[in-house]
């Protein structure tokens, strides 16, 4: 048996050739994250702040109370960390809810 017969079509001119195509994955940049913060004031009831944390940030009663007390003692407290669109929505929802209930509660976002 000749070398051409043992190697199949590989040795012949014009025979099938094999190519490897590699796909390059584009690098995906992670979105920037934003902290949603509640600011302390002397007029908004503590119970209302706890309710806001439970309703808009899905905190349980214990976690909401802990955050509310941190806001009360330190003047500011973090409610959560979100992408820009979600953080902006949460801030708007909290501010609208506070105004509807006639409380001066302030909620802001800052880049992490």
Q: What is the mean pLDDT of each run of 10 residues along the chain (112 residues)?
A: 53 67 86 97 97 98 98 98 98 98 98 95
Question: How far is it, in rounded angstroms, from Cα 37 to Cα 40?
Answer: 10
Contacts of 65 (CB under 8 A, 6+ apart): 50
Question: How far is it, in rounded angstroms, from Cα 24 to Cα 55?
Answer: 44
The count of C-alpha atoms lying within 13 angstroms of the C-alpha of 98, restricted to the half-sphere facing its C-beta, is 26
Query: Which of 38, 39, 49, 36 is CA-nearest to residue 81?
Result: 36
Q: What is the pLDDT of residue 17?
A: 75
- Residue where the block lists tokens 């214990």: 62
Q: 93: buried, middle or exposed (CB in 10 Å: 19+, 13-18, 0-12)?
A: middle
Q: What is the pLDDT of residue 5?
A: 53
């Amino acid at each position: 048996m000749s070398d051409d017969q043992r190697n199949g079509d590989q040795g012949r001119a014009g025979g099938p050739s094999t190519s490897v195509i590699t796909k390059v994955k584009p690098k995906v940049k992670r979105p920037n994250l934003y902290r949603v913060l509640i600011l302390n004031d002397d007029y908004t009831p503590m119970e209302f702040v706890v309710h806001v944390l439970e309703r808009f940030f899905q905190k349980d009663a214990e976690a909401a109370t802990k955050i509310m007390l941190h806001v009360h003692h330190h003047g500011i407290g973090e409610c959560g960390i979100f992408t820009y669109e979600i953080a902006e929505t949460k801030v708007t929802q909290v501010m609208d809810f506070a105004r509807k209930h006639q409380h001066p509660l302030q909620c802001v976002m800052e880049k992490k």
